[in-house]
Amino acid sequence: MSSSWQSVLTAFVRSSKYERQILTHNRWDFSLVFWIPLLVMALVWWVFSRSQIVDLPIGVIDQDQGRVAHTLVQYLDASPDLAVAKRYSSMAQAKQAIITREIYGVVIIPSDFSRNIFSSKPAPVTLQVNAQYGTHSGIIQKGVQTVVATVSAGTEMQRLIKQGTAKSQVGAAYSPITIQRISLFNASTDYQLFLASTVLPALLHILAMIIGATTVGRELRDRKLDIWYNYIAQRTNQLPAYILTGAGAYPDSQLDYEPDVIRVSEFDSEVNNDGHSESNSRLNSNLNSLAITDASLPVLIAGLNGKLIWPMLAYALWAAVALTLAIRIHPVAMPPWMLTYGCLLLLMMVSFWLGAIITLATFSLRVGLSATGFISAPSFAFAGVTFPYIAINDSAKYWTDALPLTHYLKLHIAQLQMGAPLALSLPIVYGFILTTFIMLLLTAVLTKRALKRPERWGAR
């Protein structure tokens, strides 16, 4: 093995050892890699543990008290979407129940309901819902409409039979056209497959960007970027013990200032002829001594990969768990699952590098985390899952197409829900592979730039 390849391999191993020590002693960083994703996935799957919303409580105001009205109430309670929680005698009581969320809607049956039906007159039924709960009100409206249509059809068919029409003719006369519904794109209508299986990759994307920003930003914030590079480049043979401590942990022999407060000598420093104090000159000299101008790009690439190897291994596990939960709802063959899993791993790598790039470009961990939240948090809303991509206006589509999560979810839905051919999603995989290499190279270049500018280190 040539010396250059050996130095690259050594940089990877040393950087992974460096990061392992930090993860072992830093509870927050370890939680971000292990405990937080585990809790997030468990929470999301618990929220969507029921595949469909059923038995939404509604109230009934029956002012008719007739046989047909009684049948209508029974059908409402028997509907899988609805549950008649209580009957009310006045609208004031029902309104109070809606306000306190005891019920989400109320069905009002008028006093002349049965009489109008038997007289072949219109017999309207009123439904009032709390529209603040869009999902609940939509399901209730659909359920009530279905029940009313069923009861209305049954009543009309009974009337025709009593008039002497044959049963076979009644069915054909009342509903001559039948509908066969086949879902082409959403093979399952439950919320586990529609939301939970796509929300989990989106949450992992957010956490991965935070890790990328934090892993590199921590070295800038604590002014330890040079310590990390000197160790992975074999300029220091022993791992410094003070990398495990917080900001300002440098020994006095190495640095004459702390990250936030410059150490001031107990005696007044003399002022030079150019107006600068001796302490400022000494500080500038120390900063110049920390600058690394000959950093090797291959060593930086290997070191950055070693720094993120532990989060990558952990998130490879979480990605497998997320997709395994998804195929438990809607089983698919192994090739689509493997393709989706590989693309999800690439999304995690892109997320790591994107968080690191923003932090290195701004020299600020705070800005990096803020930008991470700005990019990743709303990305699920723009990805075309909850809101149709075709309905997004042109200006928003530019932002949507720039988000990596959008392209991953296109592949995710195509392979795990639509059963699309593998070849249809391969361009997305190729795009992620190219993007990963470009962003890795850009991260290394920005790290090399940061090593040359120690005066920018220490920003929060």
Give tens-digit pLDDT for 309-342: 999 999 999 999 999 988 887 788 999 999 999 9
pLDDT number for residue 256: 36
Average pLDDT taken over every residue of the chain = 80
Mean pLDDT throughout 165-189? 53
Helix (H, G, I), strand (E, B), or coil: what is residue 127?
Answer: strand
Top-confidence residue, 387 or 424: 424
DSSP 3-state assignment of 187?
Answer: coil
Average pLDDT over residues 365-393: 81
Neighbours of 230 (CB within 10 A): 15
Instruction: Answer for the pair 428, 407: CB distance below 8 angstroms, yes or no.
Output: yes
Structure tokens at 29: 């960083």
Mean pLDDT of 84-102: 88
* Helix, strand or coil, per DSSP, at residue 6: helix
Question: How much is the pLDDT for 50?
Answer: 67
Q: What is the mean pLDDT of residues 78-99?
A: 87
Specify the pLDDT at position 279: 46
Q: What is the per-residue pLDDT for 18?
A: 92
Q: In the structure encoding, which two tokens stand for residue 86, read together?
A: 């209580």
pLDDT at 277: 45
Q: What is the Cα–Cα distance from 396 to 416, expressed in whole angstroms? A: 26
- When mean pLDDT is compared over 30-34, 96-100, 153-157, the highest value belongs to 30-34
Alpha-carbon distance of 27 to 296, in angstroms, equals: 32
* pLDDT > 70? residue 417: yes
- What size, in residues, is the chain? 460
Condensed to tens digits (0 to 9), the pLDDT of residues 192-205 reads 666 778 889 999 99
Please tell me the distance from the alpha carbon of residue 139 to that of residue 58, in angstroms, as a whole number.
Answer: 11
The pLDDT confidence band at residue 174, using thresholds 50, 70 and 90, is: low
Mean pLDDT of 408-417: 90
The residue among 190 and 140 whose pLDDT is bigger is 140
d(CA 348, CA 317): 11
Confidence at residue 270, expressed as pLDDT on a 0 to 100 scale: 37
Q: Taking residues 10-20, what's their average pLDDT?
A: 93
In this predicted structure, the answer to whether residue 392 has a pLDDT above a threshold of 70 is yes
What span, in angstroms and rounded, lies between the C-alpha atoms of 445 and 441? 6
In this prediction, residue 390 carries a pLDDT of 72
Q: Of 245-259, 279-293, 438-452, which has the strongest mean pLDDT? A: 438-452
- Please answer whether residues 420 and 402 qualify as being in contact, where contact means their C-beta atoms are separated by less than 8 angstroms: no
Confidence of residue 247 (pLDDT cuts 50, 70, 90): very low
Evaluate whether 57 touches 106 at the Cβ level (below 8 Å).
Answer: no
Where does residue 79 fall: left (phi above 0), alpha (psi -120 to 50 degrees), or beta otherwise? beta
Residue written as tokens 């690191």? Answer: 356
The DSSP code sequence of 218-280 is HHHHTT-HHHHHHHHTTSSSS--GGGGS-TT---TTT-SS-SSS----SSPPPBPTTS-BHHH
Q: Which of 123-127, 158-162, 250-254, 350-354 has the highest mean pLDDT?
A: 350-354
Q: Which amino acid is at 108?
A: I
